[in-house]
Structure 1
Amino acid sequence: MSKFKKIRKIVLTTGIAGLVGVGAIWAYVKSVSHAVIYKDLESVPAKYVGIVFGAGIRRDGKPSKYLKDRLDAGVLLYKNGKVKRILLSGDNGSNRYDELKVMKEYCVDAGIPPEDIFVDYAGFDTYSTVYRAKDLFKVDDAIMVTQAYHLERSVFLGEKMGISCVGFAADKGDYQLATKNEVREQLALVKSFVDVSRNRKPKYTGGNIDIRGVSNFYKK
């Protein structure tokens, strides 16, 4: 066998093994989360906290459609007694971009009292949001509030972090870049599995803001 053929065989074998491994990860993540994802309000079980994941704001300072639908879903859960607290998590990494300010104002305008709203200013990605929900806010049970394509990963991370959680799909109509986001999500599932396996630490850790205690709504 020529050297080229040997190398090609190694590459092909490695590639096939990699694809099998990725497929196994996808199947495992879905097995953990699929049965506890809900699309209708009546069937979703009540939990103490609704975790609303950030999803960007528009140039005019309004929430993106992704984010607006997540916030609306969180408000719906709260007003129907499905959750007692709302944890908003997003990116507040610069003075020019304050996603959490928009999220806070939206929820208050929708009728949620500030004392029932908690804010994570360093939820830079899904993993960080869920890790900090458990580590910083002491969340034990929660409803993950985001679009359906994002729920399998969110619920998987919650369960692995020790949070008894379910997912509530915030989908309303069509979304821009939906196909791109769904493809990206498949890669993110694998990354999340690796992050959990090596217990990756978020950029900011530590502290204690008990979700059952006094809200940090007015702090920053």
Structure 2
Amino acid sequence: MFCYIGISFWSVNKSYDSINYIPYNTFGVVLGTSKYLHGGGINAYFKYRINAAYSLFYHKKIRYIIVSGDNREKNYNEPKMMKKELIKKGIPSHFIYEDFYGISTLHSIIRVHKIFHQKKFTIISQKFHNERAIFIGNCLGLDVIGFNAKSLFFDSKIQFREVFARIKALWNVVSFFYVLKSG
């Protein structure tokens, strides 16, 4: 529980719900999720992240969008699905970059820095996910903020999963620094 609360505390004043108050960053990064639910239908988390990215772009709070997600299976490509939806909303394709190896939040954050050479950017996901991503980014020395996409009222499965994801995030950050220090 300490890990969950600690990571939430870490992102205070770095996570925004309102388009009116979020500062400008050149890049926004949409963290991946599946477009479709396992039982069929559109995944609300996906839809809300796309809407949030579009809103930031439309209100000139970001100039470019990186869609980062999983692409490990032949018929499953989160970045491609996200880019396609953003184009449908009217964002020109040359403002959207795809990261096909964002297989985890940690990978997405590291790759935005290493591959796209960004130290300062806006993360776009739901609040619980943004808090973890902000924690990871700040621990890596990056200047990141989050824009909170609309979320489902309460999803106990997601909240339970998030407890373990935050423990893993803390472990990953500690391991990352250990490797740097001993290498």
**Would you call these one fold, judging by a TM-score over 0.5?**
yes
TM-score, normalised via structure 1 length: 0.74
In the alignment, structure 1 segments of 5+ residues that lack a partner are 1-21, 201-220
The partner residue of 1:171 within 143, 150, 156 is 150
**2:129 is matched with which residue: 150, 169, 175?**
150
Whole-angstrom distance in 2 between the partners of 1:92 and 1:105: 15
Count of aligned pairs: 176
- Structure of greater relative contact order (alpha carbons < 8 Å, 6+ residues apart): 2
Between the aligned partners of 1:63 and 1:71, the Cα distance in structure 2 is 12
Structure 2 CA distance for aligned equivalents of residues 113 and 195 of structure 1 = 35
| Percent of matched pairs sharing the same residue | 27
Shift of 1:130: 0.7
Among residues 29, 50, 64, which one is paired with 1:51 in the alignment? 29
Letter in 1 for 2:144: C
Distance 1:138 1:191 in 2: 25
**Distance in 1 between residues matched to 2:117 and 2:93, nearest whole Å:** 19
Number of the residue aligned with 1:111: 90
Does structure 1 residue 32 correspond to structure 2 residue 17?
no
Q: Tell me the residue number matched to 2:116.
A: 137
Q: Distance in 2 between matches of 1:189 and 1:52?
A: 19
Q: CA RMSD in A?
A: 2.1
Q: Which has the larger radius of gyration?
A: 1
Find runs of 4+ consecutive structure 1 residues off by over 3 angstroms: 25-28, 59-63, 172-175
Q: TM-score, normalised by structure 2?
A: 0.88
- Runs (5+) with no aligned partner, structure 2: 178-183
| CA gap 1:97/1:152 in 2 versus in 1, 3 angstroms | same
Contact 1:58 1:64 in 2 (8 A): yes
Aligned runs of 1:200-219 on 2, under 5 Å?
none
